[in-house]
Amino acid sequence: MAEEARGPQPSVASVLARVRLLALDVDGVLTGGHVVLGEAGEIQVFDVRDGLGVKWLLRSDVQVAWISGRGCAATRRRAAELGVRELALGSGPKDRALAELQARLGLAPEATAAMGDDLPDLAMRSRCALFAAPSDAREEVRSRADLVTRASGGAGAVRELAELVLRAQGRWQAIVDAHGE
């Protein structure tokens, strides 16, 4: 059964403490999963809190990768704004995309966490030590996830997972302190 994200249990915390790569689906994880098409192209809505979580992970030497079966200019632009360099857009099978990324970065599945919300994302589960899902993910995905966030996709789920990683690695308090008095 998936663990609710109330704070990591010791076994989950020990896994998160070793994470050096977080692989994220885009549609339904970093966004609410809506596709808005206009005359100028596709519009995506990203959560600012998720973006801060991604930036803090990157500053803490945790690589962040976006793996998506789709891809558009808005996705590339948001990744560039956040400093996400690892993009596998239009990826095909996500386990293969993740395996290629891990090989290129020299990172093992034991140092990898991933988050997905729909059936194609389940392929990443075999390539990571911890698989997470947003609260509004498909039931089939939530039931196979090691951790289910309270927040939904595109509404803070990535931030929630980022905080859990940073807490497990002993880096969260320094981030809080840097923003305090």
d(C-alpha 67, C-alpha 84), whole Å? 11
pTM for this model (two decimals): 0.90
Q: Residue range 16-30: average pLDDT? A: 96
d(C-alpha 124, C-alpha 116), whole Å? 8
5 has a pLDDT exceeding 70: no
Residue type, 129: A
Tell me the CA distances in angstroms from 165 to 18, 65, 116, one per residue in order: 9, 15, 16
180 belongs to a structural domain: no
181 belongs to a structural domain: no
Decide: 122 and 145 in contact? Cβ < 8 Å.
no
28 belongs to a structural domain: yes
pLDDT for the residue numbered 42: 78
Question: Into how many domains does the chain fold?
Answer: 1
Tell me the per-residue pLDDT of 73-107, one tens digit each, with 9 for 90 and over.
Answer: 889 999 999 999 999 998 889 999 999 999 999 99
Q: Residue range 50-61: average pLDDT? A: 97
Beta bridge partners of 109: none
Tell me the per-residue pLDDT of 130-156, one tens digit each, with 9 for 90 and over.
Answer: 999 999 999 999 999 999 999 999 999
pLDDT for the residue numbered 181: 60
pLDDT for the residue numbered 69: 87
pLDDT for the residue numbered 8: 52
Per the structure, the complete domain to which residue 166 belongs is given by 3-174
Q: Considering the chain, what is the average pLDDT of its residues?
A: 91
Using 50, 70 and 90 to split pLDDT, how confident is the model at 3? very low
22 has a pLDDT exceeding 50: yes
Q: Residue range 13-35: average pLDDT? A: 92
Q: Pick the residue with more confidence: 80 or 36?
A: 80
The CATH number of the domain holding residue 139 is: 3.40.50.1000
46 belongs to a structural domain: yes
Contacts of 24 (CB under 8 A, 6+ apart): 30, 64, 65, 66, 67, 114, 115, 116, 158
179 belongs to a structural domain: no
Residue 97 host element (H or E)? helix 94-105
9 has a pLDDT exceeding 70: no
123 belongs to a structural domain: yes
47 belongs to a structural domain: yes
161 belongs to a structural domain: yes
